[in-house]
Structure 1
Amino acid sequence: MARLWLRHEVRATEQRAAVTPADAARLVAAGHEVTVERSPQRVFPIEEYLAAGCTAAPAGSWAGAPADTYVIGLKELPDEPAALRHRHVYFGHAYKGQRGAADLLRRFTAGGGLLLDLEYLTDNDGRRLAAFGYWAGYVGAALAILHLRGSLEVPLHRLRRADLDAALGASGERPKVLVLGALGRGGRGARDACAAAGILPTAWDIAETRELDRPALLAHDILVNTVASAGPVTAFVTEADLDDPARELRVISDVTCDVNSDCNVLPVYDRVTNWDEPVRALRQGERPVHLIAIDNLPSLLPRESSEAFSAELGRHLLDLDSAPWRRAAGRFRKATEEDIHA
Structure 2
Amino acid sequence: MLSTDERKVLEIKVLGALPGVAGYTAVAAFLGPDLARQMPTYLYPLQLAQWMVEQALLQPSPSIFVKMVRAVDDLDAGAASISTLANRLDADPSGWVPLSDATNPDWRLEADPLEVDELGSPFLDREGFRRRLPRLGAEQGPGCLLVQGDKGAGKTYLSRFCRRLSAQRPGLRVGFAEIGGAGTGLPPQEPALRLGLELGTDMARRPRSHASPDSYARYLASWIAAWTSTPSALPALAILDQEHETTVSDAVHTFVQELVRQIQTDPATHARLRVILLGYDHELLRQAGLEFDAYTLEYIEAHHIRQWLARRFPEKPEYMYEDAVDMIIAESASMGVDRLRGLALCTRMATTAFLD
Same-fold call, TM > 0.5?
no
TM-score by length of 2: 0.24
Greater strand share, structure number: 1
Greater helix share, structure number: 2
